[in-house]
Amino acid sequence: MEPAIDADVIFDALERVRRTVPRVHVITNTVAQTLTANVLLALGAVPSMTIAPAEVAAFAESADALLINLGTLDEDRRQAIPRAVHAASAAGRPCVLDPVFIDRSPRRAAYARKLLHESWSAIRVNAAELDALGGTGSTQAANIGFSPVLAVTGSVDRVQDSTGRAASLANGHPLMGRTTATGCAGGAVLAAFLSCSDDPFASVCAGLSVFNVAGEIAAARARGPGSLVPELLDALYRLQRTDIQDRLAATLDPTE
Ligand SMILES: Nc1ncnc2c1ncn2[C@@H]1O[C@H](COP(=O)(O)OP(=O)(O)OP(=O)(O)O)[C@@H](O)[C@H]1O
Ligand SMILES: Cc1ncsc1CCO
Ligand SMILES: [Mg+2]
């Protein structure tokens, strides 16, 4: 198996995404939709976002990957999500779960816990959401018979899988936390990378590192949160191998 943490392996993964032009179906919150679609397009992927009950299964099964994000979880989204997940899973597509704000609502946390029984390639959370998932989501997931990669984002992103592989990814910039929905858009990047590789752990490490290196380049050019967003899209679009080689700050952690 190739090393998961290597600048060239990570850039090769980005090139695969750019070459493949994967379709990513996204059910996400109303705040994150435009940024997420633009991030996918800048990356070289094709976003779709319908939640219409009569169409969502067709979109999900004809996409290369699915992202489910639980922000603004209204009744329409509650209905659409299982349809999309079942259609994508039956078609063998990687699915990513981002259980936004489950720390804020017991009803949403209960909904997310039920969703954990579906077949996820990766789960992306921030620290508060990880606590609400019940500590280590991956252990919990392994106990119920599947093994998503768990990515906990923050100033340093921590990635682990059920086999004990773990990584710390230190790229990124605090301005990314001062602009809404960067985490949500990052989940869509993971879905795109997962669809172009058969190593989910390496895909998650590569997707987060690409997104965060682009975030660093953007932050160096931006004057604040407002100009970060267009700079982030441009940096993703223009990202070169030397950008990853020069900036990658990622380590594999000792296995448990
Ligand atoms: N202080 C920081 N330093 C470096 N990178 C950061 C920092 N804060 C966030 N990031 C990066 O920004 C992205 C979003 O992470 P964050 O943990 O803020 O997500 P989130 O809380 O789910 O955000 P949202 O809900 O707004 O989408 C990640 O790629 C993360 O690595
Ligand atoms: C601000 C906000 N509210 C619900 S979802 C969302 C985007 C960040 O998760
Ligand atoms: Mg989030």
Percent of the chain with pLDDT over 90: 91
Q: Which amino acid is at 86?
A: H
DSSP 8-state assignment for residue 211:
H
Ligand closest to the CA atom of residue 104: 2
pLDDT tens digits along 10-31: 999 999 999 999 999 999 999 9
CB burial of residue 99 (10 Å; 0-12, 13-18, 19+):
buried
pLDDT tens digits along 135-182: 554 444 444 445 899 999 999 999 999 999 999 999 999 999 999 999
Q: Residue range 182-188: average pLDDT?
A: 98
ipTM: 0.97
Rounded to the nearest angstrom, the distance between the alpha carbon of 75 and the centre of ligand 3 is 20
pLDDT at res. 135 = 59
pLDDT band, residue 1 (cuts 50/70/90): low
What is the four-CA torsion angle of 116, 122, 127, 130, rounded to 10 degrees? 20
> From residue 183, how far is each of 147, 156, 179 by CA, in Å?
22, 13, 9
pLDDT tens digits along 221-251: 999 999 999 999 999 999 999 999 999 999 9
pLDDT at res. 144 = 43
Q: Are strands 250-253 and 166-169 parallel, antiparallel or unpaired?
A: antiparallel
Q: How would DSSP label each residue in 85-151?
A: HHHHHHTT--EEEE-TTTTT-HHHHHHHHHHTTS--SEEEEEHHHHHHHHS-HHHHHHHTT---EEE
CB burial of residue 12 (10 Å; 0-12, 13-18, 19+):
middle
Among 65-69, 70-74, 132-136, whose mean pLDDT is lowest?
132-136
Give the H or E element holding residue 70. none
- The predicted model scores a pTM of 0.96
Mutation pick for ligand 2 pocket among 77, 101, 153 (CB with most ligand atoms within 8 Å): 101
Q: Which of 153, 173, 101 is nearest to 132 (CA)?
A: 101
Q: What are 97's strand-pairing partners?
A: 68, 123
Mutation pick for ligand 1 pocket among 69, 176, 205 (CB with most ligand atoms within 8 Å): 176
Residues in the ligand 2 pocket, defined by CB under 6 Å: 29, 31-32, 71-72, 100, 180-181, 184
176 is in an annotated binding site: no
Q: Which amino acid is at 38?
A: N
Contact 161, 149 (CB under 8 A): yes
User: For residue 215, what are the contacts with CB-CB under 8 A and spacing of at least 6?
Assistant: 171, 172, 173, 175, 176, 182, 228, 232, 235
Ligand closest to the CA atom of residue 29: 2
Q: Which domains does the chain have, with CATH numbers?
A: 7-253 (3.40.1190.20)
